[in-house]
Structure 1
């Protein structure tokens, strides 16, 4: 985090060498005025009725490098400062009204820092020239950010605030971490995939205590281009220069080989080994056609998509499988459970050509149950998937007997995301296609 520092007047703490600039009962915050971490503290102070003043003439990269600053606190962290300011008010509602709410607030602060802020910075800093820009690293950061926003979006679909029914410190920190993204990276096209996050962000930003500190906030219209000086460059090979007085040696040229010989000496490229599933007899079921039908059916899902599935289904070329997570008792936190399923689907990407899947997270309260339905090419779960995706062994797998009408109906309900499912509410349903 960007260094910032909070100092308190002697009447509040016993800090040595206090300057007369710190008035009794006033907190002084050493940071730049655009530092999002400092802004968290100022917003928390507004909600708490605590007086905090920014020091004048603070210059990041200069003021925070002075011996005086480093002696006071070499690595000030603003989440800690925001917590401190919040705690100065006894029974502050920003920290919840019970031990459970306090724990949930800390949980969301960690999520905001580790899943939202960290991935936004991993995307943003290389584009600004503050780190080497590497496309695979950027792709990983964007993918991780989307997973986090998807989990947050699902939670906010049925919650106005992160904890309870009023603003807490978790909301302040989450909103300010999102603010960096909304104003620098996340265009409207990007955030439109997460409508509940959008609603939450703009609702929070327009709260009086936020707008008093932040003023007008505008969403960026474009992703910043990569700084031209930040693109990785590779050293060019340079020929070693010979001493000037070294006599030139005659180089005898070997007679050129006939063209045919040269071709014969070149090793032919080895053909890429085929996946064993590609060697199976042709199937009447075209997987991509089913995936298109599933994606494009918006109404009458039973009559169109489900009927279409069974019309296409080839029991000789494909098989259906139910899966149940073995450790559902661990699924006590909604967003952690959703992330777990999302990461499983991401690792299943190696099977996209040969599989279709539905994963359901079931229950209105913890522990949540994770169940799935998978369509695989062939009569068994492909061995390369079992070998390369370790999540597979975290589930119990059972082959669907399509002659059993109850099992067949269960397949229909899972494809359709029927709710309630087996008597319980659906927290979320994810599709692999």
Structure 2
């Protein structure tokens, strides 16, 4: 199968896994830049000429089109195969709902998730006030998701969509480091949904089995 383009990033990276899962479901192939070195490759003049911000993941399509930001890359990959209607929505209403949830995830969930995860994973020092604010923000967002998913199988439409994959990827590290047994009991519907998504065909092959923390590090 011919590749539709090349993805640049360090691995593992949940934002990249999201893109790979979309490609898997959509029956398209994307390559990874095997010689990519983080904070080296993305600082070179050649890389910056294509991706001026220097962020990863970054994607270069087979026709030379360059795309930054993981959500934009995921949308491009979703639109490049036969399952685009499932992934992005079959009509204007569905497409708007998918986009609404992706925006909510990126703007409201991701930052709070990173705040509570990075200090527990040892990538950032603990700042108690910051961690508490992140925990409060994430709890609010998960409450919104929990209420919305009640009686629903999927997040935005009646099929697994890019919205589901985006939220699953955003919560991947949270379930690994923060959403322990006690916290999962607070969000049973969301937890069941997460296990359903990460176990779906095309996603389980990319993300692997769920890694659920038993007891999160507390401060």
What TM-score results when the alignment is normalised by the length of structure 2? 0.85
User: Partners of 1:42 and 1:175 in 2: how far apart?
Assistant: 13
The answer to whether residue 126 in structure 2 is matched with residue 148 in structure 1 is no
Structure 2 contact 22–78 (Cα < 8 Å) conserved: yes
Residue matched to 2:25: 47
SS at match of 1:58: coil
Q: Deviations over 1:310-354 (max 9, x none)?
A: xxxxxxxxxxxxxxxxxxxxxxxxxxxxxxxxxxxxxxxxxxxxx
Q: Deviations over 1:150-187 (max 9, x none)?
A: 11111111111012211111011011111110012211
Of 17, 42, 45, 1:67 maps to 45
- Following superposition, the deviation at residue 81 of structure 1 comes to 0.5
Of 76, 87, 91, 1:84 maps to 76
Work out the number of aligned pairs and report it.
204
User: Partners of 1:52 and 1:142 in 2: how far apart?
Assistant: 35
- Following superposition, the deviation at residue 143 of structure 1 comes to 1.0
- Following superposition, the deviation at residue 130 of structure 1 comes to 4.6
User: Partners of 1:224 and 1:71 in 2: how far apart?
Assistant: 42
User: Partners of 2:3 and 2:121 in 1: how far apart?
Assistant: 40
The answer to whether residue 94 in structure 2 is matched with residue 101 in structure 1 is yes
Of 172, 175, 182, 1:179 maps to 172
Structure 1 contact 175–204 (Cα < 8 Å) conserved: yes
User: Partners of 2:119 and 2:188 in 1: how far apart?
Assistant: 27
Aligned ranges 1:232-381 → 2 under 5 Å: none
Of 132, 154, 158, 1:161 maps to 154
- Following superposition, the deviation at residue 127 of structure 1 comes to 4.1
SS at match of 1:29: strand
Is 49-58 or 93-102 further displaced after alignment? 49-58
Structure 1 contact 187–223 (Cα < 8 Å) conserved: yes
SS at match of 2:104: helix
Q: Deviations over 1:36-63 (max 9, x none)?
A: 1111110011111111122213332233
Residue matched to 1:35: 13
User: Partners of 1:154 and 1:35 in 2: how far apart?
Assistant: 29
**Compared CA separation, residues 132 and 151, structure 1 to 2 (3 A):** same
- Following superposition, the deviation at residue 208 of structure 1 comes to 1.9
Structure 2, unpaired ranges of 5+: 56-67
Structure 1 contact 119–141 (Cα < 8 Å) conserved: yes
User: Partners of 1:171 and 1:150 in 2: how far apart?
Assistant: 16
- Following superposition, the deviation at residue 124 of structure 1 comes to 2.2
The answer to whether residue 187 in structure 2 is matched with residue 194 in structure 1 is yes
**Compared CA separation, residues 180 and 51, structure 1 to 2 (3 A):** same
What TM-score results when the alignment is normalised by the length of structure 1? 0.45
Structure 1, unpaired ranges of 5+: 1-22, 227-433
